[in-house]
Amino acid sequence: MKSIKRFVMAIFSNPIVTKEIKQRTRGLKFSFTIAGWLVLVTLFTIMFLTSITNSVVEITRYKNSIQNFCFFLIFLFAGFFGLLITILCSQAIAKEKENQTLDILLSTPLTNFEIVVGKMIAAAGEAVILFFSAIPILVLLYFYGITSMGDILLIMLYVFALILFYGSLSLLLSTLIKKGIAATVIVISIVLASTILSYLIVTISAQKFVNSAGQPLQAQSFWNLISISISSAFALIEFINIRLNSGLNAFLQYSYKIKGYQIHLLICIVGTILNIFLSAIFLSPLRRIRIFKRKPD
């Protein structure tokens, strides 16, 4: 019970969270970031609405256009917020090292775990503020009748879970690498490499494991499941496809009850917990003995 209480206190009463969020949201840089993000999303929305009004109104074409816009908007959210949290988390510890303030932070009564979680939540909090600022754009998807608000929120929660994984990975790398830009580049390279690997698995298995009737064999079903499970892009496509019933899974068919996006979500949740734990260990090797225990008052 004490461990659970300590964990909750580390999240909701962490002084690092309030300090970091106040510092990041106080300046003009954050205001310009919000303005730029809203202008970008609004611009694409206006372009989409203009293309719809200029075309002939057909139900099938209208639905396909809305679904394509939904896919684009969700991936825009995932890409922007993913890159933002990756950059912020990679600079969280690396910036303390560059400013030579990490030793001061380690000398406080806060444990390694509280420091790492505080840095993580502060970075995620900035992205959450940007997310809520763009809610009016997401409401358009509901008013256009493409899906329910519950499905939209589930998709956004799934995106947030993926983003937290890569943010925690960049935070772990920032404890091991001196430069934050190197951690960002490594995380982006991992995302691109997993996507390319999944695409190669799908294309190669489609050529090798197809019978004369054109139906996927058991081996192809297995490799399709693997390709979705290891790629955030493929997993997100499958999840959006299921929630929107868009029928775009022709090349991702498999015969298993478990879904690839479910496996990938489990990997991300376990990976996030593991990355935070390892970050607390490698933050300061000399303080490993009190990663979760505070100094006696």
Please report the pLDDT score of residue 166 as a whole number. Answer: 92
Most confident of 68-82, 126-140, 245-259, 269-283: 269-283
**Residue pLDDT, tens place only, 228-253:** 889 998 899 888 888 877 655 555 67
Q: Mean pLDDT across the chain, nearest whole number?
A: 77
> Quick one: average pLDDT of 215-239?
80
Instruction: State the Cα torsion 83-96-129-246 to the nearest 10°.
Output: 20
Task: State how far the Cα of 47 lies from the Cα of 272, in Å rounded to an integer.
Answer: 37
pTM summary value: 0.81
**Residue pLDDT, tens place only, 26-58:** 777 777 878 887 888 778 777 776 766 555 555
Query: Residue 92: CB partners within 8 Å, gap ≥ 6?
Result: 119, 120, 122, 123, 171, 174, 180
Helices 232-244/218-229 angle, 10° precision:
100
Confidence of residue 203 (pLDDT cuts 50, 70, 90): confident
